[in-house]
Chains A and B, each alone.
Chain A
Amino acid sequence: MSQDQPEDKQGMFGAHGTGDTSGYGGLVRSEVSAGSAQRPFGGYFDQVADDLERAYPDFADAIERVVVDRGELTLHIKRDRLVEVALILRDKLKFEMSMGVSGVHYPDDKNRELHAVYHLLSVTNNQRIRLEVSVPDTDPHIPSLVEVWGGSNWNERETYDMFGIIFDGHPGLTRILMPDDWQGHPQRKDYALGGIGVEYKGAVTPPPSERRSYK
């Protein structure tokens, strides 16, 4: 689904395909990916992009895509350029604070299954932008940003714990929320939620992951 070409709206309860709205089709996940935005981006986003292009000559090579959606700017960055871009954003564009890393798993996004999303805040200019790095499931390595923003330490450990993304250069990449000997990475879409059905007077309520889906 592309965000610059919104899907045809068929009402909030839109039935697609067979028109079966019983929901017994099981859990179906669809792909989420946004199209690139064209200039002008609006707001301070043009200013940020201009400053970054000026401060970083390899801009066109390092940035895969620029997305402006719902009043937020996302820069999709090649992983081998992440640290350079982050340093320039911190030192030249005054994005002093990283508000954390969150992983997202898109199993349908082939060769870009795992995304790491960084939320940056500039206190000086009162601006926010987002960096996004995508890596394949088979090679889940992203350079660590602990050297750039020290606070990324725990955030990267959490993303490793939950998604299995390996942050190269991290001073101690271990699990943080799950036990050390845990198998698997719970937030991935292929990791089952688990749970057991509950029976009451003969009727069984299935666990949440096996209930009907309306997608």
Chain B
Amino acid sequence: MSTYADPYASSRETTEGTVFSVTGGDWDSLVTEIGQAKEERVVVNMGPQHPSTHGVLRLVLELEGETVTEVRCGIGYLHTGIEKNIEFRNWTQGTTFVTRMDYLAPLFNEAAYCLGVEKLLGITNDVPEKANVIRVMMMEFNRISSHMVALGTGALELGALSPMIFCFREREKVLDIFEFISGLRMNMAYIRPGGVAQDLPVGAVDKILATVKDLRHSFKDNEKLLVGNSIWMKRTQGIGYLDLAGATTLGVTGPVIRATGLPLDLRKIQPYSGYENYKFDVVTADTCDVYGRFLIRINELEQSLRIIEQCAEKLKSLEGAPVMVADKKIAWPAQLAIGADGMGNSLNHIREIMGTSMESLIHHFKLVTEGFRVPAGQVYAAVESPRGELGAHCVSDGGTRPYRVHFREPSFNNLQATSAMCEGSMVADIIGAVASIDPVMGGVDR
């Protein structure tokens, strides 16, 4: 370290050894000083504020030279107490909380939660067909937008800039669809217990099909950039190795376990929302490495497009069909409509409750302020999110508010595999391994 006292880059002695603070620009002096130390072992904090740790993940690395001997994850920097807060709102309001957990896959959070609530209510089979088709379509669009971020940022972190630009361009098209259908680009609270918040707008099917065509064409650009690219393959092949035994014991799901050759996809093995009615393939790889996970995500895009096309076919014959359960004691009473000042309550609905029907007003008031009662008991409902099995453990005490809702977040479990993937590898390969897990800290910390 330099002779003058730099208040931002200093070293101090602790019982564990010398602690260096690095602030940038002082790298040479730091290396000189570390080089004089007898011990080879260096402990480095990577994150929580690091551009390639997917948000606020903190990795504590123990290094010997460039080799990583130990990795520990520090999480909790984005803990927002969503599970606690839900207990103080009614069941319907819960959707607006859970949609904010894994912010890249909001529709999956809503779907898992709503499937759990519907199972508790015993109305799983009463959800109208059109609502199920819309759910599946929105989830598959969401899978595409989430994989776009995974691929784009993953490539960016390994130094490939163009894929990020391309991926975010494609993601934008999907977000436009979300905005068109639900009014919001993320955190939509669109899937509700009993169905979806509102019907598709006029012209939705044509717009969806046009977007699918557009996306299929653009995905080819992405593939050309990375698949078979020799630099990309050198950075990803054989990196972040995790085999089937490791993935099974660690509870790892999603593309990471499918990259070990196991076709574990809940859409196939335990279908929900009518996934058994669609033709699609479960994509696997047998390389157990970052490249395999990357290929799975690339190939899942096409499978999602296939499902969306089948949804669009079904939607053509479902025009005007209901999108919410018929039971008015559960269905959200407010009807939304587009007015001159944007989306809001339907004027026809307000005219009815304020002008003509006292009973409708009482019903609206009770359902909105109080919510519906959910029979006591507990259920576990799981969906295949872009990152793996997203499960909702919902417990009801028979009241209008959840007694306890716990989410089995795939990012949370998958992140445990970081140590298994990275220990013994080079520092630079940690970035690729973490990117291939694709953790979203909003989901990990909840």
Tell me the A residues contacting B by CB distance below 8 Å: 1, 3, 6-7, 11-14, 23, 29-32, 34, 69-72, 74, 96-100, 102-105, 117, 119, 121, 123, 126, 128, 130, 149-155, 158, 162, 175-179, 186-187, 193, 208-209, 211, 213-215
| Given A178-B76, A193-B88, A215-B399, 11 new contacts (CB under 8 A) | A11-B329, A14-B373, A98-B251, A102-B393, A119-B380, A123-B248, A128-B380, A151-B250, A153-B416, A154-B412, A215-B397
Interface size of B by CB at 8 A reads 57
Mostly, the B contact residues are: loop
Residue from the list B76, B248, B366, B391 in contact with A177, Cβ < 8 A:
B76
Tell me the B residues contacting A by CB distance below 8 Å: 75-76, 79, 81, 83-85, 87-89, 119-120, 122, 248-253, 262, 264, 269-270, 329-330, 366, 370-373, 375-380, 382, 389, 391, 393, 395-401, 403-404, 406, 408, 412-413, 415-416, 445-446
- Contacts A12-B372, A123-B264; is A154 near B408 (CB within 8 Å)? no
Give 5 closest A-B pairs by Cβ, nearest first: A151-B251, A102-B406, A208-B88, A215-B399, A177-B76
Q: Are B122 and A176 in contact (CB under 8 A)?
A: no
Shortest CB-to-CB span from A112 to chain B, Å, is 15
Which of B264, B373, B379 has the most chain A CB atoms inside 10 A of its CB? Answer: B373
Q: Are A119 and B403 in contact (CB under 8 A)?
A: no
Shortest CB-to-CB span from B71 to chain A, Å, is 14
| B119 (CB) vs chain A CBs: closest residue | A70
Shortest CB-to-CB span from B45 to chain A, Å, is 15
Q: Are B84 and A12 in contact (CB under 8 A)?
A: no
Shortest CB-to-CB span from B330 to chain A, Å, is 8
Shortest CB-to-CB span from A149 to chain B, Å, is 6
Shortest CB-to-CB span from B268 to chain A, Å, is 10
Residues of B within 8 A of A100 (CB): 251, 391, 406, 408, 412-413
Q: Are A30 and B412 in contact (CB under 8 A)?
A: no
Cα–Cα, bound, A97→B264 (Å): 12
Q: Are A7 and B251 in contact (CB under 8 A)?
A: no
Shortest CB-to-CB span from A101 to chain B, Å, is 9
Q: List 15 A-B contacts (CB under 8 A).
A: A3-B376, A11-B329, A13-B329, A30-B397, A32-B396, A70-B377, A99-B391, A102-B404, A149-B249, A154-B413, A154-B416, A177-B75, A187-B84, A213-B399, A214-B370
Residues of A within 8 A of B373 (CB): 12-14
Which of A130, A150, A177, A211 has the most chain B CB atoms inside 10 A of its CB? Answer: A177
Q: Are B391 and A32 in contact (CB under 8 A)?
A: no
Residues of B within 8 A of A23 (CB): 370
| A104 (CB) vs chain B CBs: closest residue | B404
Q: Are A214 and B400 in contact (CB under 8 A)?
A: yes
Residues of B within 8 A of A1 (CB): 376, 397-398
Shortest CB-to-CB span from B286 to chain A, Å, is 16
Q: Are B400 and A215 in contact (CB under 8 A)?
A: yes
Q: Are A31 and B397 in contact (CB under 8 A)?
A: yes
Residue from the list B371, B377, B401, B408 in contact with A102, Cβ < 8 A:
B408
Residue from the list B76, B120, B370 in contact with A179, Cβ < 8 A:
B76
Mostly, the A contact residues are: loop
Q: Are B393 and A97 in contact (CB under 8 A)?
A: no
Residues of B within 8 A of A103 (CB): 406
Q: Are B85 and A193 in contact (CB under 8 A)?
A: yes
Cα–Cα, bound, A47→B91 (Å): 35
| B327 (CB) vs chain A CBs: closest residue | A12
Residues of A within 8 A of B262 (CB): 123
Shortest CB-to-CB span from A170 to chain B, Å, is 14
Cα–Cα, bound, A3→B120 (Å): 12
Shortest CB-to-CB span from B83 to chain A, Å, is 7
Residues of B within 8 A of A74 (CB): 378
Q: Are A97 and B251 in contact (CB under 8 A)?
A: yes
Q: Are A186 and B399 in contact (CB under 8 A)?
A: no
| A98 (CB) vs chain B CBs: closest residue | B251
| B77 (CB) vs chain A CBs: closest residue | A177
- Contacts A99-B391, A123-B264, A150-B250; is A32 near B406 (CB within 8 Å)? no
Cα–Cα, bound, A38→B399 (Å): 27
Residue from the list A98, A123, A208 in contact with B89, Cβ < 8 A:
A208
Shortest CB-to-CB span from A7 to chain B, Å, is 7
Shortest CB-to-CB span from A127 to chain B, Å, is 10
Which of B249, B329, B401 has the most chain A CB atoms inside 10 A of its CB? Answer: B249
Cα–Cα, bound, A176→B409 (Å): 15
Shortest CB-to-CB span from B374 to chain A, Å, is 9
Cα–Cα, bound, A162→B446 (Å): 12
Shortest CB-to-CB span from A17 to chain B, Å, is 14
Q: Are A176 and B76 in contact (CB under 8 A)?
A: yes
Shortest CB-to-CB span from B58 to chain A, Å, is 12
Q: Are B376 and A32 in contact (CB under 8 A)?
A: yes
Residues of A within 8 A of B250 (CB): 150-151
- Contacts A97-B248, A178-B76, A179-B76; is A119 near B377 (CB within 8 Å)? no
Q: Are A130 and B380 in contact (CB under 8 A)?
A: yes
Residues of B within 8 A of A12 (CB): 329-330, 372-373
Residue from the list B252, B330, B395 in contact with A151, Cβ < 8 A:
B252
Residues of B within 8 A of A128 (CB): 270, 380
| B245 (CB) vs chain A CBs: closest residue | A96
| B81 (CB) vs chain A CBs: closest residue | A186
